[in-house]
Amino acid sequence: MKMKAHAKLIVSLACLCGLSAAYAADFDDYARVVSVAPQVEQVNYPQQECHTEYVQVQRQQRGVGGSILGGLAGGIIGNQVGGGSGRSVATAAGAIAGAIVGDRMENSETPVAESQPVNRCRTVDNWQSRTSGYAVTYEYHGHTYTNILPYDPGERMRVRVSVMPAR
């Protein structure tokens, strides 16, 4: 009977050892960092540059005061010149001629020059360097590996080690 109990125990231990060897073991360890190289890319951030320029503009100034005064004066003079039924025709003709002369006197053909601000803008390239990651070369148990990481790990880095039996 004693022999049977020992045999069961030995068989149970052998099964447990065999089961633990069949499963993979994962653990964390540290690897020595050999080199770190930043991965730099050029990125364009276009910007607008604006400035104000003063441009000379020729402008014709128009007024109505000369036409009104010229029309009144011409109408009065025409009324004085005409007689009888021709008086109303002379008044109208004098008013029209006076309005034209008054307009020409006030609104001379000489244009007026003035400065006018004009806003001018253009888009210019604005290239900037940006680090997109780090090419990290590290060594673990005599083997060298390289990976791209989003950060600089320093002199050593944490690694996940997976151990599996060979098949």
**How confident is the model over 37-60, as a mean pLDDT?**
90
40-125-119 Cα angle (round to 5): 155
Half-sphere exposure of 132 (CA within 13 A, CB side): 7
- Please check whether residue 158 is in contact with residue 28, taking contact to mean a CB–CB distance below 8 angstroms: yes
Q: d(Cα 78, Cα 91) in Å, to the nearest integer?
A: 4
Q: d(Cα 71, Cα 121) in Å, to the nearest integer?
A: 49
Is there a single domain that holds both residue 16 and residue 53?
A: no
pLDDT at 20: 47
Is there a single domain that holds both residue 108 and residue 74?
A: yes
Write out the residue range of the structural domain in which residue 30 sits.
2-46+125-163
Is there a single domain that holds both residue 118 and residue 89?
A: yes
Please state, for a pLDDT cut of 70, what percent of the chain lies above it: 74
Buried b (16+ CB within 10 A) or exposed e, 84-97: eeeeeebbebbbeb
Number of domains in the chain: 2
| pLDDT(129) > 50 | yes
Q: d(Cα 162, Cα 28) in Å, to the nearest integer?
A: 9
Is there a single domain that holds both residue 13 and residue 61?
A: no
Can you say how many angstroms the Cα of residue 56 is from the centroid of all Cα atoms in its chain?
33
Is there a single domain that holds both residue 37 and residue 72?
A: no
- Please check whether residue 47 is in contact with residue 121, taking contact to mean a CB–CB distance below 8 angstroms: no
Token pair recorded at residue 127: 């290239």
Buried b (16+ CB within 10 A) or exposed e, 44-76: eeeeeeeeeeeeeeeeeeeeeebbebbbebbbe
| pLDDT(145) > 50 | yes
Is there a single domain that holds both residue 113 and residue 129?
A: no
Is there a single domain that holds both residue 104 and residue 56?
A: yes
Is there a single domain that holds both residue 39 and residue 58?
A: no
The model's pTM is 0.44
